[in-house]
Amino acid sequence: MIIVQVKEGENIERALKKFKRKFEKTGAVREMRARKTFEKPSVKRRVAKMKAIYVQHLRLEEDQ
In a domain, 4, yes or no: no
pLDDT band at 63 (very low <50, low <70, confident <90, very high): confident
| Cα dist from 26 to 13, 39, 54, whole Å | 20, 22, 28
Domain housing 43: 12-63
pLDDT (average), residues 41-58: 97
In a domain, 37, yes or no: yes
Sign of CA dihedral 25, 30, 32, 38: negative
Say how many domains are in the chain: 1
Please tell me whether residue 9 adopts helix, strand or coil conformation.
coil
In a domain, 2, yes or no: no
Check residue 41 and give its pLDDT. 95
| Separation between Cα atoms, residue 55 and residue 63, nearest integer Å | 13
